[in-house]
Amino acid sequence: MSTVDAVQIQRAGVEDIETVVPLFEAYRAYYRADADAARAGVFITERIRNADSVVFVARVGDEAVGFVQLFPKYSSVNLSREWILNDLFVAPEHRRKGYADALMGAAEAFARSTGAAKVTLKTELTNESARALYESRGWRADEVFVTYALRFRDE
């Protein structure tokens, strides 16, 4: 656990699922996903219970104010573990207080502790505040590779 300006960052366990789900659903709403708290709850529950992802929760006092979720991946070329920083969210009323930066720091420290070669993420081009945060932490946009997707359902 780390503490920055009264925020505590802890890795979420099964006991934190009920705390994470509303934040996760708010994150999904930000990205214009249809509300579905039941499915979101099942998704987060499965990720945490099955250790399919690593979730850190930011709390101020007893209130959960944000979270970050990492998914593992592996590089055949580099013969190494990597992490995808898939989700980062701070509740709107708690933004601009350094909580997203603290969550990023926890995610980066965790990835380093696993011996990962790198952490990657994607964000919308229009998400200027998130992009500014990432760049302030030394993250750089990929200028070498193009991302393709083959969609099996509408998102």
For the domain that residue 67 is a member of, what is the CATH number?
3.40.630.30
Query: Is residue 152 domain-resident?
Result: no
Query: Is residue 143 domain-resident?
Result: no
Return the residue matching tokens 């998400």: 127
What is the share, in percent, of the chain residues with pLDDT greater than 70?
A: 96
Provide the number of structural domains found in the chain. 1
Structural domain span for residue 53? 2-136
The sheet with strand 7-11 has its strands ordered as 2-4, 7-11, 54-60, 63-75, 80-90, 118-120
* pLDDT at 2 > cutoff 60: no
pLDDT of residue 155: 62
Mean pLDDT over 15-35 rounds to 94
* pLDDT at 28 > cutoff 90: yes
Tokens read off for 63 = 């209130």
